[in-house]
Amino acid sequence: MSVLQLPSPSVAPGDFAASSGDGYADNTFEGKASQMDEVVKYIAEKGFIPDALIEPEVVWFYCNLGIDNMYFSVESVDVIANHIMALYAAKMTSYLQNASSLDVSLEQERENDAVYIHSSKPGVSTLSGPQYEQRIDERYLDTSTREDSFRLETYRSSGCVASNFKTQLRCYFVARCNFVEPNPGPEDERNIHKVSDRTFLSKATDNTLEIYQRVMNAVLERTGPVIEMHEVENSRSKRLVIGYRYTSQILC
């Protein structure tokens, strides 16, 4: 197997990351290229995918599918390789069934974090399938306490699973919170730099921190939720920020 080269972000058709317009810095992973080589070797050893197709499948998964870099930074070589092989198997099954789309459900749960990936059509809600959002609520978010909390990031892939399938993927990343100050005193509980998760602080832009600080201050001064809507510069997108007290309920 030859050493694979990652294309630059400017030419990767499906490269995806949260842009500064979303209020967060891009997720980066310095070891992505070397990890990709290890994944190729792992898959070759398993013998499940024909040798001539291994590199194209791996390159598509890493560079064209558009999965956020957070996935590659938190997952191991064997997990990524197994996901690529599972996706390949799903594509082969759909091809044999002459299907125009395919269903993908990949998951990895650990003590401190979890990753869920499934096929998802933008703007369409379904009552069938893995119901990952409900599972995340029940297992992680709804059961979080001040001492044991989890955070969730979710992204949609910008690319498709293959050139002949228009299926996109939705990715969910759950992680146990690592607060700067787990037990803030009265002087720190209004300081977003003290009560936030360290990963969040490393990615949030100054503008996002300013918005969240303002919303947090308003939440601490009232009983109901605080909702703010912001225009995204040079975009038709809107940012909706909702803040509410821990253990309170929002009825929709």
The pLDDT, as a whole number, for residue 248 is 67
The pLDDT, as a whole number, for residue 19 is 38
Helix, strand, coil shares of the chain, percent, nearest 5, are: 35, 20, 45
Tokens of 211: 């918005």
Name the band, by pLDDT with cuts 50, 70 and 90, for residue 18.
very low
pLDDT surpassing 60 at residue 127 = yes
Interior CA angle at 141 toward 132 and 185, to 5°? 160
Residue that wins the pLDDT comparison between 19 and 224: 224
The pLDDT, as a whole number, for residue 187 is 85
Q: For residue 23, is it left (φ>0), alpha (ψ between -120 and 50) or beta? A: left
28-50 tens-digit pLDDT: 888 999 999 999 999 999 999 99
The pLDDT, as a whole number, for residue 13 is 34
The pLDDT, as a whole number, for residue 16 is 32
| Beta strand extents in the chain (DSSP E only) | 105-109, 113-119, 150-156, 169-176, 226-231, 238-243
73-106 tens-digit pLDDT: 888 999 999 999 988 888 888 778 777 667 788 8
Instruction: Give me the mean pLDDT over the 166-188 stretch.
Output: 88
pLDDT surpassing 60 at residue 183 = yes
Residue that wins the pLDDT comparison between 124 and 145: 145
47-72 tens-digit pLDDT: 999 999 999 999 988 988 888 888 89
186-215 tens-digit pLDDT: 889 899 999 999 989 988 889 899 999 999
- Answering whether pTM is above 0.95, one says no
Interior CA angle at 3 toward 28 and 10, to 5°? 40
Average confidence score pLDDT of the chain: 83
Maximum mean pLDDT: which of 154-163, 186-195, 228-237: 186-195
Name the band, by pLDDT with cuts 50, 70 and 90, for residue 14.
very low
pLDDT surpassing 50 at residue 15 = no
pLDDT surpassing 80 at residue 184 = yes
